[in-house]
Amino acid sequence: MFLPIGSNLPFFKFPVVTVCWILASLFLFSMVTTPELQQNSQIKTEAQIKEFHKTLTYQMSFIPAETQPTWKYFSYQFIHANWGHLVSNMWYLAIFGWILENALGGGLFLFLTLAFGALAVFPEFIFQADPHMPIVGASGAVAFMMGAAVSLFPKAKVKLLFSLVPLPNIPTSFFFPLRYLVYFWLIMQVSGLARNAWLEPTPVAYATHLAGFSFGLIAGALLSLRRKEKWIDVELSGKDLKEFYASLSAYQQQQFEEANQNFEKLSKKWPWMIRFQIQLFHIAISHKQKDLAEKIWKNMMPQLLMMRRAQDAELALREFLMTFGELPPLLVQERILITKLLKSRSATAEELSLRLQAS
């Protein structure tokens, strides 16, 4: 299973509201819901049902068949049925809450998420197979966050973890377009709602998920009209992404030595990420940082050769030549391999090949 563990959006502020939401949900589940569910694990008689209805867990839940006080539209978002339900919701809340809280600010984020999380449960009056079943969980609010995030940042990418065991020089995660992750999630929700309607009803509130997501799309589209941020589609997250943007800022302040050290460190850390290496190479060339460009070229050349990226190799060599008036230093074996890669690709590549052979 692929789990999101970050994004490539340049948001680095600590998400206070998101963390407080997670802590509140964890506290309520461990200190309230778990003891009450254990105490009422064997509900058989009508008297036992009445006792369960007196629990705080039930009182904070949303029950479509009952007349609901207004506060229940909000309280149900902090109650969860079991550990799996809690962890899955909190995991996605942590990722998308971090994105949206940084984008909107804590106050607006909290207001919109709680408000649309409350509205998202209304479809359960129609679609819930058992209207007496308590509805709990932050999934409606999380769906709103997902919808708003993909609407605000349609070209963003999320970092997905696929292995918990780190191996040398083997990636344990990869970047994936946010919108594609959302497409897969939507298919799961629509198919779940169809199964509830036509096959076998389940206690999952798919209608709430879809409603929350729809509200998020609309809110994100409206909010995007006043947003002007620009960001770079670089496949980094967390501390590495922060260092990347700090280095770009250092370039603007003419602090080339510090920036070059950071870029070189990032290049060595992610040698298999060829797209990222090419981006770093172009940055070094555009700022006329010859030493850095040579080091990045050495790091990315094995990948260019292995994947036979002839076009990228040609463009990189030509860019270096046009900027510095010479080709980057190459060992004899490297020169032979690059020459073979470029051979017969195009007339301009042939010129480069001849120049490599003569150098």
How many domains would you assign to the chain?
2
Burial code (b: 16+ CB inside 10 Å, e: under 16) for 34-44 equals: bebeeebeeee
CATH number reported for the structural domain that contains residue 277 in this entry: 1.25.40
- Domain boundary at 224, 255, 273, which? 224
Last residue of a domain, one of 158, 190, 224: 224
Residue 92: which H helix or E strand, with range?
helix 83-104
Same domain (yes/no): 326, 246: yes
Residues 209 and 276 grouped into a single domain = no
Can you give the C-alpha Rg of the chain in angstroms? 27
Residue 229 resides in a domain: no
Q: How far apart are CA 204 and CA 186, in angstroms?
A: 14
Asked if 153 and 245 sit in the same domain, the reply is no
pLDDT averages per 10-residue partition of the chain, 359 residues:
84 94 95 82 64 82 85 93 91 94 94 95 82 87 95 91 70 87 89 76 81 94 75 90 93 90 92 91 93 92 85 87 85 80 61 57
Q: What gap in Å lies between CA 135 and CA 204, rounded to an integer?
A: 8
Residues 33 and 158 grouped into a single domain: yes
Ordered DSSP codes for 14-79: --HHHHHHHHHHHHHIIIIIHHHHHHTS---SHHHHHHHHTSHHHHHSB-TTSPPPTTHHHHGGG-
Query: Which residue range is the domain that position 343 belongs to?
Result: 238-358
pLDDT of residue 268: 92
- pLDDT (0 to 100) of residue 205: 82
Which residue type, as a one-letter code, is found at position 56? L
Report the pLDDT value the prediction gives residue 166, as an integer from 0 to 100: 67
**Which positions ≥6 away from 320 have C-beta within 8 Å?**
285, 293, 297, 326, 327, 328
Q: What is the CATH number of the domain that holds 73?
A: 1.20.1540.10
My answer on whether 52 and 166 are in the same domain is yes
> Does residue 323 share a domain with residue 220?
no
State the CB neighbour count (10 A cutoff) for residue 196: 19
Side by side, the strands of the sheet bearing 173-177 are 3-7, 157-161, 173-177
Residues 217 and 242 in one domain: no
282 occurs within a structural domain = yes
> Is the domain of 216 the same as that of 300?
no
Which of 199, 224, 249 is the endpoint of a domain?
A: 224
Tell me what pLDDT residue 138 has.
93
Q: Does 232 map to a domain?
A: no
- 174 and 247 together in one domain: no
Q: Is 1 exposed, middle or buried (0-12, 13-18, 19+ CB in 10 A)?
A: exposed
Quote the pLDDT of residue 307: 85
Residue at 233 is within a domain? no
Q: Give the pLDDT confidence score for residue 3 in this predicted structure.
A: 81
Q: What distance lies between CA 333 and its chain's CA centroid?
A: 41
H/E element, 3: strand 3-7
Same domain (yes/no): 216, 310: no
| 231, part of any domain | no
Instruction: Please list the residues that pair with 3 across neighbouring strands.
Output: 161
